[in-house]
């Protein structure tokens, strides 16, 4: 029994060191009643996609402050900023929250696909953001 415990300990230790999950399965074969097979599953790296995030801020917000808000929200969603394009102050086609103008910014962000909803919800809560649109960038 000591040998089996040693093998299990070694498998757990290798899993901790290598950053992989290890599962130990007991094989029930007649000629090898206590044989163990070690099956390792590598942790899949999160596939990050490039998204275009267009945000309209209230007119009084400075571009640097607006960029900081988006970068902070991106960090909580495991994303990173690739590029910022400040379109500046523009007139809105229709009133949004009693505003007739807004500060437009276009962000290129790298983000895991399962974090997009989290990012959108985090940005929608901010009172300085009038509208936002997040779309996957075509290749």
Residues 122, 102 share a domain = yes
pLDDT at residue 88 is higher than 50: yes
Q: Which domain holds residue 19?
A: 2-41
pLDDT in tens, 106-115: 999 999 989 9
Q: What is the mean pLDDT of residues 126-135?
A: 96
Give pLDDT tens digits for 28-65: 444 544 444 444 444 556 688 999 999 999 999 999 99
Mean pLDDT over the full length of the chain: 80
Q: For residues 60 and 30, state if they share a domain.
A: no
In this prediction the pTM is: 0.66
Q: How far apart are CA 120 and CA 106, in angstroms?
A: 14
CB 77 within 8 Å of CB 111 = yes
Return phi, psi of residue 47, to 5°.
-80, 120
The domain total for the chain is 2
Please report the pLDDT score of residue 39 as a whole number. Answer: 43
Same domain (yes/no): 120, 65: yes
What percent of the chain is modeled with pLDDT above 90?
63
11 shares a domain with 52: no
Residues 37 and 56 in one domain: no
Residue 32 and residue 54 in one domain: no
């Amino acid at each position: 029994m000591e040998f089996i415990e040693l093998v299990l300990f070694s498998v757990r230790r290798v899993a901790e060191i290598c950053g992989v999950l290890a599962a130990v399965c007991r094989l029930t074969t007649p000629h090898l009643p206590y044989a163990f097979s070690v099956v390792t599953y590598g942790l899949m790296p999160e596939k990050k996609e490039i998204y275009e995030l267009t945000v309209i801020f209230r007119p009084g917000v400075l571009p640097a402050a607006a960029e900081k808000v988006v970068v902070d929200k991106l960090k909580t969603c495991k994303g990173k900023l690739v590029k910022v394009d400040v379109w500046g102050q523009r007139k809105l086609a229709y009133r949004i929250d009693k505003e007739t103008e807004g500060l437009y910014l276009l962000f290129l962000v790298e983000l895991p696909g399962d974090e997009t909803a989290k990012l959108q919800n985090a940005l929608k809560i901010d009172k300085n953001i009038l509208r936002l649109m997040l779309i996957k960038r075509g290749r």
